[in-house]
């Protein structure tokens, strides 16, 4: 098993969550900013985790461009799941579900429902316990 965590981060919160997920996955995992992704990173990947902050009610523009760059069946045989970081308010958008649908459209196999992590304000910081929750989620992904 080899896991890849791809993320975009505006204020550093999504990066922190991605690194914690990767830590939970252990040595089989690598966290990579979406802007540094190379197609060869998908070689031998069995699990792909993609995360973005919610910007304008959807994933970041960099994340959307990256998703657009994937070929239609490029993720065949790869288990996929997504996450987002968001402010804890009533109306907030939903980047994680949008990312997951696009990953499935590119051939990925849904691993589980997306995960949401909360920031206290637009720029953060993360709510207490979110990093620990992210690391635990990484460990759970190992069991799928």
pTM comes to 0.96
Domain that holds residue 31: 3-142
Q: What per-residue confidence (pLDDT) applies to 90?
A: 64
For the segment 17-43, the average pLDDT, to the nearest whole number, is 96
Q: What per-residue confidence (pLDDT) applies to 92?
A: 63
Residue 121 pLDDT > 80: yes
CATH number, domain of 17, equals 3.40.50.360
- Going along the chain, which residue ranges are E strands? 3-7, 29-33, 47-53, 79-87, 109-110, 115-119
- 3-state secondary structure (DSSP) of residue 40: helix
Q: What per-residue confidence (pLDDT) applies to 91?
A: 61
For 71-120, the pLDDT digits (tens) are 999 999 999 999 999 998 766 678 999 999 999 999 999 999 999 999 99
Percent of all residues in the chain with a pLDDT value above 70, rounded to a whole number: 98
Q: What per-residue confidence (pLDDT) applies to 53?
A: 96
- Other C-beta atoms closer than 10 Å to the C-beta of 19 total 19
Count of domains observed in the chain: 1
More confident residue, 55 or 83: 83
- Other C-beta atoms closer than 10 Å to the C-beta of 71 total 10
Angle at 92 between CA 8 and CA 62, to 5 degrees: 20
Q: What per-residue confidence (pLDDT) applies to 132?
A: 98
């Amino acid at each position: 098993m080899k896991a890849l965590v791809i993320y975009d981060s505006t204020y550093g919160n999504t990066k922190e969550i991605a690194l914690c997920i990767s830590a939970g996955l252990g040595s089989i995992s690598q966290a990579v900013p979406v802007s540094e992704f190379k197609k060869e990173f998908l070689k031998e990947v069995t699990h792909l985790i993609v995360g973005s902050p919610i910007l304008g009610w959807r994933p970041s523009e960099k994340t959307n461009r990256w998703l657009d760059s994937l070929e239609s069946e490029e993720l065949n045989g790869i288990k996929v799941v997504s996450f987002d970081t968001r402010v804890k308010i009533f109306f907030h958008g939903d980047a994680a579900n949008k990312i997951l649908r696009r990953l499935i459209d590119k051939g990925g196999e849904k691993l589980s429902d997306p995960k949401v992590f909360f920031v206290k304000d637009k720029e953060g910081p993360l709510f207490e316990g979110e990093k620990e929750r992210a690391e635990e989620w990484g460990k759970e992904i190992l069991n799928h």
